[in-house]
Amino acid sequence: MTTISGDRCLDHEEPLIFEIGRDGKCGVDFPQVTVGDTHLAGLRRKGKIGLPGLSEPEVVRHYVRLSRMNYAIDAGLYPLGSCTMKHNPRLNEKLARLPGFADLHPLSPMSAAQGALALMRELAHWLTTLTGMPAVTLTPKAGAHGELCGILTIRAAIEARGEKRTRVLIPESAHGTNPASAAFAGFTVDEIKATPEGRVDLDSLKSKLGPDVAAFMLTNPNTCGLFERDICEIARLVHAAGAYFYCDGANFNAIAGRVKPGDLGVDAMHINLHKTFSTPHGGGGPGAGPVVLSARLAPFAPLPLLVLEKDSIRLIETKTDAPEGAKPFGRMAAFHGQTGMFVRALSYMLSHGGDGIRQASEDAVLSANYVLASLKDVMSAPFAGPCMHEALFDDTWLHNTGVTTLDFAKAMIDEGYHPMTMYFPLVVHGAMLIEPTESESKESLDRFIHVLHTMAEEVKAGKTARFDGAPHLAPRRRLDETAASRKPVLKWKAPDLKQAAE
């Protein structure tokens, strides 16, 4: 149905700002400038710079309308697996906006930044305590950046031992960033098989370990939402081969307060502050991926180093200033990391306390198991038994229905839900990975389960029209995702129509 405005109730159309802007219009009143040409030294503008002209209310409406075409955790349950889209407490936002943090310039003298540095020390203390690891580097700006940092630390430690190790072992269920980080650091990647129950195959690991293996990278809980029960034996095998044990801790929220990775023999692990410890994320940032390190790797942590001197805290910025025994491999970022995320994460930790963090992990696991148990009768779960923080389904139940994982997930949009993670992990056919997090009330979970259960029943009853080409009620229909990534349109061009009218 088309309407006069192109809108359908609140499901509106919104052109680009360049298409609604007009020449000569301006939302701000600038004072008349009386500087003569001689003062401008030939810098006077020669032509139009092509900025859209709009009044202030037009600008406000444009961005508010655009924001309403978006989905956010503040708009509804956001079940994207492995992404931990949890509630971001407003208290964190309030603290991050304190001018002492928000207005602090990264080049401020250290004497003027003692509060921010003390906050970083406090955050480091929480991270090392929660993980049972002796050291942490805070600079990495995302999970993948943390992986690279951890792998470069391992590379430095191996070089310091005078060894040459070229391979990194990674289970086939791993997040794509793991092999990417290892390859980026110059290692070749060797895949470790999964057992039929979705965990690391110890025989496959044993057969691949050798004197040329630098590290084994494991996600725990793994991307099938399962805890790797053999993790202590895995650590023992990896260490016996002279390699380091890297753990992808992006999803620490499933075990924080319950398990200390340091007790499991982990040598390096990044923690996504933007997942486990809230802080808004998605859309590419910002994030923070601190890396905790074992005593064997700690000396190789990158610059800057945060040290407590007599009565002040200092960031050590160069190798020559590094304390005795420290052999930093280099640095990961120009400055010290994402202060805004540090404030939010510490605010989350302090307001929850250790017991509250454990409770959050337990509730996240409980929510996921509630979803798994409630949908198991209509959808198919590839692995038996309870899950950790995410519920995984495959597409066996869709066979011969004419409906695919993609159709089912896209139809969720018509019901006002963001789709779950699809087709990941790769080891599960047509995977649907649901991570409800601890944010949801039982009523909210029940509503979500009711919608998915009813949709699944419709599929089974052959009522599949709504899945064909879904979503039908969103501002856009099914997009061509392949063309979007292969032939991205990154530059706006004025439509011919508008030019013709002028």
Ligand X SMILES: *Cc1c(COP(=O)(O)O)cnc(C)c1O
The residue to which tokens 């004072």 are assigned: 31
| Stretch of residues binding ligand X (CB under 6 A), selected from 102-110, 114-122, 247-255, 445-453 | 247-255
Instruction: Tell me the DSSP string of 257-316.
Output: TT--GGGGT-SEEEE-HHHHT-----TT------EEE-TTTGGGPPBPEEEE-SSSEEEE
192: buried, middle or exposed (CB in 10 Å: 19+, 13-18, 0-12)? buried
Determine the Cα–Cα distance for residues 158 and 148; give it in Å rounded to an integer: 15
Find the binding residues for ligand X in span 188-227 (CB under 6 A): 219, 223
Among 88, 137, 251, 439, binds ligand X (CB under 6 A): 251
Site string for ligand X, 94-133 (x = CB under 6 A): ----------------------------------------
Q: Does 250 bind ligand X (CB under 6 A)?
A: yes
User: CB-based contacts of 46: which residues, under 8 Å, 6+ apart?
Assistant: none
Choice from 190, 248, 395, 438 touching ligand X (CB under 6 A): 248
Paired residues of 246 in beta bridges? 217, 268
* Binding to ligand X in span 77-96, by CB under 6 A: 82
The residue among 144 and 412 lying less far from ligand X, judged by its C-beta, is 144
Q: 3-state DSSP call for residue 79?
A: coil
Window of 118-126, 141-149, 208-216, 435-443 that interacts with ligand X by CB under 6 A:
141-149
CB distance 329 to 258 below 8 Å:
no
287 binds ligand X (CB under 6 A): yes
Taking CB under 6 A as the criterion, which residues in 172-191 touch ligand X? 175, 177
Asked if 437 interacts with ligand X (CB under 6 A), we say: no
What are 248's two structure tokens? Answer: 């992808």
Residue 337 engages ligand X in binding (rule: CB under 6 A): no
Cβ 176 to ligand X, closest distance in Å?
8
Closer of 143 and 302 to ligand X (Cβ): 143
Measuring CA to CA, how many Å separate 290 from each of 122, 142, 189, 339?
Answer: 13, 8, 23, 12
361 near ligand X, rule: CB under 6 A: no
Cβ neighbours for 316, distance < 8 A, ≥ 6 positions apart: 303, 304, 305, 306, 307, 322, 323
Does position 289 interact with ligand X (CB under 6 A)? The reply is yes
- How far apart are the C-alpha atoms of 285 and 455, rounded to whole Å? 33
When asked if residue 435 is in the footprint of ligand X (CB under 6 A), the reply is no
Q: Which of residues 366-425 bind ligand X (CB under 6 A)?
A: none
- In the complex, what is the shortest distance from the CB of residue 435 to ligand X, in angstroms, rounded to a whole number? 9
Q: Where are the beta strands (DSSP E) in 138-263?
A: 167-171, 188-192, 213-219, 244-249
What's the min distance (Å) between Cβ of 179 and ligand X? 11
**Sites of contact with ligand X (CB under 6 A):** 82, 142-144, 175, 177, 219, 223, 248, 250-251, 272, 287, 289
